[in-house]
């Protein structure tokens, strides 16, 4: 039983969910629940990774014994496993970091409020993400998408300041309308084909006007939630104003959740539309996102805004290869591997960047780039974390970002998409410009002042560094990731018409 992976699947969702409920019901012990919940969830995810790696085949679990099309099916293949793994690794860092960040320094009710609400919300968000990655049908995906959106908005609104509440409100509206459009698209599909199972849909769907309408709704809904240009407007204020651990979660994982659905839906259910203009349009918007996001990041004067605009840019890369991915479905894993490695590298590096930005803010108390002058002696580890994360964000070798871009560029050029080359390499150079703007402040030797730098607890200084180093080490995982993605990649093939 223990060696059977199907036994573990419900636990991947249940453990963080139960911990969230516990933390909510017993606020005085909220951190204890979070701590144990984090460790157990991570352990369960790592364990299932091992089992999946051993079995090399897709695992399924029908909740309560009711299978598709009536009941709820959980499906675990290589792609979902990688996403779960990524979430677990970042989750460990977030829990450690947030303990130091939110731990009230005085007895104000405000800070206790934040501390006590963060833990259940964060665990809940984690459960929602895990459920999302394990869902195999469109309606479950909708439910998890809503749960994810609500917990993300609530986490953003933890900081009670007018600017933050405004950003959170806007985030809520976008998130809701995105989900609704997605739901509408799903309704269209159900009306047309009578099933919500992604794999079944892939087998029966054909290029009809209904499918195009559904695809348009689903795609727009998800793209809004993923903040692809020009729907990115809500992201920078929300990500920049949230508390640092929340910013890291939002940028590293939450936007990736809706992207993951988009990827899944297009790979199978909407695949008959692979040759229409929609994938090309997504690729074009990706290019625009890279250029616009990078230009904006280059002219920010506040650290967290800069990092947030960098997210806008980096999300663009995820969409570049979508037309090629759909075209070469099944027989060529390279585009998918490129996208997934990029996604992972960005998640790790961006979480590291936001957490180290959080450290700088925590120590200095303000967010202007110029206030960072001369912190190099005070916070070497944070400086290193930001620098190392920057290497991966710029995609300089050796880093996960580099290996992903290398793969993407090879795929792009093989298919004659030479313009992607210009955008990807140009985007890297622009990233270098905005990362270096921060680094040159950090390397500057300050004259005299900066004695009032608050010392950092270890649980805050190490997580960003660890994540940044992992972003670098991803350079060695290209083969592993590809092998993992192949598990269930026949899932891509078996439904091919």
**Contact (CB, 8 A) for 203 and 181:** no
**Contact (CB, 8 A) for 122 and 31:** no
- Binding segment for other proteins among 27-35, 238-246, 283-291, 377-385 (CB under 8 A)? 377-385
Closest alpha carbon to 292 in 312, 306, 308: 312
Closest alpha carbon to 76 in 56, 59, 54, 51: 59
Site for other proteins (CB under 8 A): how many residues?
Answer: 36
Q: Is residue 403 a contact residue for other proteins (CB under 8 A)?
A: yes
In the complex, the smallest distance separating the C-beta of residue 177 from other proteins, rounded to whole angstroms, is 39
**Which C-beta is closer to other proteins: that of 123 or that of 345?**
345
The site map against other proteins for 414-453 (x = CB under 8 A) is x------x---xx-xx--x---x---x--xxx--------
Given 30, 116, 310, 482, the residue binding other proteins (CB under 8 A):
482
Q: Is residue 168 a contact residue for other proteins (CB under 8 A)?
A: no
**Which C-beta is closer to other proteins: that of 3 or that of 479?**
479
Q: Is residue 334 a contact residue for other proteins (CB under 8 A)?
A: yes
Given 27, 104, 330, 398, the residue binding other proteins (CB under 8 A):
398
- Binding segment for other proteins among 85-93, 110-118, 182-190, 371-379 (CB under 8 A)? 371-379
**Which C-beta is closer to other proteins: that of 104 or that of 478?**
478
Q: Is residue 330 a contact residue for other proteins (CB under 8 A)?
A: no
Given 178, 323, 374, 488, the residue binding other proteins (CB under 8 A):
374
**Which C-beta is closer to other proteins: that of 205 or that of 432?**
432
Name the β-bridge partners of 62. Answer: 73
**Which C-beta is closer to other proteins: that of 160 or that of 377?**
377
Given 194, 377, 419, 458, the residue binding other proteins (CB under 8 A):
377
- Binding segment for other proteins among 124-132, 262-270, 299-307, 473-481 (CB under 8 A)? 473-481
Q: Is residue 46 a contact residue for other proteins (CB under 8 A)?
A: no
**Which C-beta is closer to other proteins: that of 37 or that of 400?**
400
Q: Is residue 315 a contact residue for other proteins (CB under 8 A)?
A: no
Name the β-bridge partners of 137. Answer: 197
The site map against other proteins for 336-355 (x = CB under 8 A) is -x------------------
Name the β-bridge partners of 368. Answer: 302
Q: Is residue 67 a contact residue for other proteins (CB under 8 A)?
A: no
**Which C-beta is closer to other proteins: that of 323 or that of 401?**
401
Given 92, 396, 453, 473, the residue binding other proteins (CB under 8 A):
396
Q: Is residue 297 a contact residue for other proteins (CB under 8 A)?
A: no
| 53-62 contacts at long range (C-beta below 8 A, 24 or more positions apart) | 53/484, 55/5, 56/487, 57/487, 57/488, 58/487, 58/488, 58/491, 59/5, 59/6, 59/9, 60/6, 60/136, 61/6, 61/9, 61/10
User: How many CB atoms lie under 10 A from the CB of residue 108?
Assistant: 10
Q: Is residue 490 a contact residue for other proteins (CB under 8 A)?
A: no
Q: Is residue 496 a contact residue for other proteins (CB under 8 A)?
A: no
**Which C-beta is closer to other proteins: that of 233 or that of 476?**
476
Given 94, 475, 489, 495, the residue binding other proteins (CB under 8 A):
475
**Which C-beta is closer to other proteins: that of 45 or that of 383?**
383
Q: Is residue 485 a contact residue for other proteins (CB under 8 A)?
A: no
Q: Is residue 458 a contact residue for other proteins (CB under 8 A)?
A: no
Question: SS in 3 state form for the chain?
Answer: CCCCHHHHHHHHHHHHHHHHHHHHHCHHHHHHHHHHHHHHHHHHHHHHHHHHHHHCCCEEEEHHHCCCCCCCEEEECHHHHHHHHHHHHHHHHHHHHHHHHHCCCCCCHHHHHHHHHHHHHHHHHHHHHHHHHHECEHHHHHHHHHHHHHHHHHHHCCCCCHHHHHHHHHHHHHHHHHHHHHHHHHHHHHHHHCCCEHHHHHHHCCCCHHHHHHHHHHHHHHHHHHCCCCCCCCHHHHHHHCCHHHHHHHHHHHHHHHHHHHHHHHHCCCHHHCCCHHHHHHHHHHHHHHHHHHHHHHCCCEHHHHHHHHHHHHHHHHHHCHHHHHHCCCCCCHHHHHHHHHHHHHHHHHHHHHHHHHHHHHHHCCCEHHHHCCCCCCCHHHHHHHHHHHHHHHCCCCCHHHHHHHHHHHHHHHCCCHHHHHHHHHHHHHHHHHHHHHHHHHHCCCCCCCCCCCCCCHHHHHHHHHHHHHHHHHHHHHHHHHHHHHCCCHHHHHCCC
- Binding segment for other proteins among 22-30, 35-43, 184-192, 390-398 (CB under 8 A)? 390-398
In the complex, the smallest distance separating the C-beta of residue 49 from other proteins, rounded to whole angstroms, is 20
Given 409, 467, 484, 489, the residue binding other proteins (CB under 8 A):
409
- Binding segment for other proteins among 71-79, 184-192, 205-213, 474-482 (CB under 8 A)? 474-482
Residues found near other proteins in the complex (CB under 8 A):
333-334, 337, 374, 376-377, 380, 384, 391, 396-398, 402-403, 406-407, 409-410, 413-414, 421, 425-426, 428-429, 432, 436, 440, 443-445, 475-476, 478-479, 482
């Amino acid at each position: 039983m223990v060696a059977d992976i199907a036994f573990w699947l419900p636990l991947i969702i249940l453990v963080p969910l139960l911990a969230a409920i516990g933390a909510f019901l017993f606020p005085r012990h909220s951190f204890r629940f979070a701590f144990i919940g984090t460790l157990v969830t991570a352990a369960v995810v790592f364990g299932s990774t091992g089992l999946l790696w051993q079995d090399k085949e897709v695992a399924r679990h029908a909740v309560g014994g009711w299978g598709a099309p009536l009941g709820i099916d959980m499906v675990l293949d290589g792609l979902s496993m990688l996403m779960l793994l990524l979430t677990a690794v970042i989750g460990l860092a977030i829990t450690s970091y947030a303990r130091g960040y939110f731990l009230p320094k005085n007895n104000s009710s405000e800070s206790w409020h934040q501390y006590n609400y963060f833990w259940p919300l964060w665990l809940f968000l984690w459960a929602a993400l895990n459920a999302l990655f394990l869902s195999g049908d469109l309606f479950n995906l909708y439910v998890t998408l809503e749960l994810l959106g609500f917990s993300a908005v609530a986490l953003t609104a933890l900081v009670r300041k007018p600017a933050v509440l405004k950003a959170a409100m806007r985030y809520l509206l976008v998130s809701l309308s995105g989900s609704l459009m997605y739901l509408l698209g799903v309704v269209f599909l159900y009306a047309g084909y009578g099933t919500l199972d992604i794999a079944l849909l892939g087998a029966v769907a054909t290029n009809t006007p209904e499918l195009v309408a559904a695809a348009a709704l689903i795609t727009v809904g998800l793209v809004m939630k993923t903040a692809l240009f020009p729907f990115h407007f809500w992201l920078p204020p929300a990500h920049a104003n949230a508390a640092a651990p929340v910013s890291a979660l939002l940028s590293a994982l939450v936007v990736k959740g809706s992207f993951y659905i988009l990827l899944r839906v297009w790979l199978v259910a909407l695949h008959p539309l692979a040759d229409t203009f929609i994938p090309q349009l997504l690729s074009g918007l990706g290019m625009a996102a890279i250029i616009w996001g990078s230009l904006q990041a280059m002219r920010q004067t506040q650290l967290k805004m800069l990092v947030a605009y960098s997210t806008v840019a980096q999300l663009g890369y995820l969409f570049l290869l979508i037309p090629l991915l759909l075209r070469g479905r099944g027989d060529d894993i390279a585009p998918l591997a490129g996208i997934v490695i990029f996604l992972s590298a960005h998640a790790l590096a961006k979480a590291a960047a936001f957490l180290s930005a959080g450290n700088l803010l925590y120590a200095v108390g303000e967010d202007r780039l110029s206030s960072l002058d001369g912190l190099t002696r005070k916070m070497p580890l944070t400086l290193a974390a930001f620098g190392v994360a920057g290497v991966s964000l710029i995609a300089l070798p050796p880093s996960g970002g580099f290996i992903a871009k290398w793969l993407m560029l090879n795929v792009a050029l093989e298919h004659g998409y030479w313009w992607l080359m210009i955008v990807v390499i140009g985007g890297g150079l622009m990233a270098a410009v905005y990362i270096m703007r921060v680094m040159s402040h950090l390397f500057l030797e300050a004259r005299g002042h900066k004695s009032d730098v608050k010392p950092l607890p270890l649980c805050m200084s190490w997580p960003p560094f660890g994540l940044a180093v992992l972003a670098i080490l991803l350079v060695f995982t290209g083969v592993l990731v590809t092998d993992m993605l192949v598990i269930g990649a026949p899932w891509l093939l078996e439904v091919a018409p």
